[in-house]
Structure 1
Amino acid sequence: MNLALSTLGCPDWNLERILSVGREAGYDGVDVRGYRDEIDVTRHPLFTDRADETQSRVETAGLTVSALSSSISLCEPGDRSARVAEARRLIEVGDAFDVDRIRVFGGGDLDAHSRAELARAGGETMREILAIDGAADFQWVLETHDAWTASADCQRLLDEMPTDDVGIVWDAAHTLRLADESPRETLDALGDRIEYVHLKDAVHDPDHRDATDDGYVYTVPGDGDLPMADVVAALHERDYDGWLVFEHEKRWHPSIPEPEVAFPAFVGWVRDQL
């Protein structure tokens, strides 16, 4: 398994520090989810006008861009032009960085639409994206997130996808907390479609100022309440050899541990599990 850090975990760091800490801590790659003040890296010159320079710096550090993690939500009925335009920009950035996969969300409003309607809208959006020149060169992966966290719901959305090549980003913290699924239950249901894995630990502390909607606060791996060791063990049993991404959500939860502490701690924790 290869290890990547997410740029969500270090929103104040410049590229030099991201790459140097990533290399020194023992990571293999960087999952790009925003850079400094810009969450959409397709609008930042380091990833557009200066992409060749940035890619050279990534390679010199001995790292790889493991994925581009976009904000695209597929399951929004109505005008899809903005999402398709973002996908087109992502393809250009992905080409510049030799990226294999692009993360998208399901999204959608279950108060306004049925799950079936949202799933159909997701399939239609994905068809438009895959019609873009070069889109089929990437693996598009849906995260277990929001309305599409439980395995059965994810499968329903996958069934609407125009190709079996659309896969799953397994955010294990979401399926554990929000879908009440054990790691093995998720893997039994979706294992053949899981192409990328996000890991993060959390402690239940609903009074904390940075608590999630369900009362959890993200913390250093191994210090929380979530059975993350069981996730790694289950992946190991299934011979998963893809990416494990430490998605430390510092951008959204500023009081959680600093990246210079959390990033090395994740690598050490994973090594203890394997």
Structure 2
Amino acid sequence: MKYAFSTLGMPGTPLAEAAALAAAHGYDGVELRAHPEESLHSGSPATDRTAAVRAFAAAGVGILTVAGYARVAAEGPDEPVLDELRGLTALAVDLGAPYVRVFPGGGDREPSAADATAVRRLAAVAPFAEREGVRILLETHDSHRTGADAARVLGRVGHPGAGVLWDVLHTWLGGESPARSARELTGHLGYIQVKDVASAADLTPLSLGCGTLPLAEAVAAAPPGGWLCWEYERRWYPGAQELPGLLTSGREHLAGLVRAARKEAAHAE
């Protein structure tokens, strides 16, 4: 398996510092939060993009994802959303990132209407993304929280330029087991976001293994050789412990879960 963390866990940190931290703590990649609050987003000039590429190359760390905030199931005209998706894809191309993260954002819309909007927009942009060597990943989140919700959309899109980012917190909050999430997302999965929290009532981020999420089951269901990305949501919980001091223990916890899953699988053969 390969390991990454999201810069959502260290808001405002310069990208060169994030790359150096990843290298120092044994991570293979970083998921970049692409938001105007941060130093790099779809409106950033070419010089900033080039500087980011150089910083990550110097650290020997990959840029896994451009984590954008486009909401593909939201009400409103398509073109602004499609423009946002194209801009995020262009940023991913410039950074050499294979993925762009998007949200559903369907709100309180009727599920069939939200699905139809998401399908239409993803189907429109997926061929462009694939031609550019990028895959648009719909995160299991908000209006489409479970693997079944996301698969319902991606099955209708039916294009390899679109897939799913499995956020284990949201599928758990949606009452879906990791085994079922994995089954639902077969053929659609890009990679898995892991995290940990105390309970459904307290989503303050915790170090991996210190909370209640079924991480062992999610890791066991992960395809071999894929990515596990730790999304530590300190941006939304500024009182949480700072991420850099947790990075090594977090990666070691994931590596231990991977070893245990491999051992269990070998015994089952």
TM-score (structure 2 length as normaliser)? 0.88
Match among 155, 159, 176 for residue 163 of structure 1: 159
Query: Partner of 1:222: helix, strand, or coil?
Result: coil
Q: Determine the structure 1 residue equivalent to 2:229.
A: 245
Following superposition, the deviation at residue 83 of structure 1 comes to 1.6
**Mapped partners of 2:207, 2:127: distance in 1:** 41
Q: Determine the structure 2 residue equivalent to 1:94.
A: 92
Unaligned runs of 5+ in 2: 260-269
Contact 2:129 2:135 in 1 (8 A): no
**Mapped partners of 1:115, 1:36: distance in 2:** 30
Map 1:139-178 to 2 at 5 A: 139-176=135-172, 178=173
Q: Determine the structure 1 residue equivalent to 2:34.
A: 34
Identity of aligned residues (%): 26
Q: Determine the structure 1 residue equivalent to 2:110.
A: 114
In structure 2, give the amino acid aligned to 1:101.
Answer: Y
Q: Determine the structure 1 residue equivalent to 2:16.
A: 16
Give the total of aligned pairs: 258
Q: Which of structure 1's runs of 4+ aligned residues deviate more than 3 A?
A: 130-136
**Mapped partners of 2:126, 2:252: distance in 1:** 39
Map 1:43-82 to 2 at 5 A: 43-45=43-45, 48-82=46-80
**Mapped partners of 1:16, 1:259: distance in 2:** 16
| Deviates further, 33-42 or 161-170 | 33-42
2:196 is equivalent to residue 201 of structure 1: yes
**Mapped partners of 1:16, 1:267: distance in 2:** 20
Query: Partner of 2:221: helix, strand, or coil?
Result: helix
Contact 2:64 2:98 in 1 (8 A): yes
Contact 2:98 2:135 in 1 (8 A): yes
**Mapped partners of 2:219, 2:198: distance in 1:** 18
**Mapped partners of 2:136, 2:227: distance in 1:** 15
Unaligned runs of 5+ in 1: 205-211
TM-score (structure 1 length as normaliser)? 0.86
| Deviates further, 136-145 or 33-42 | 33-42
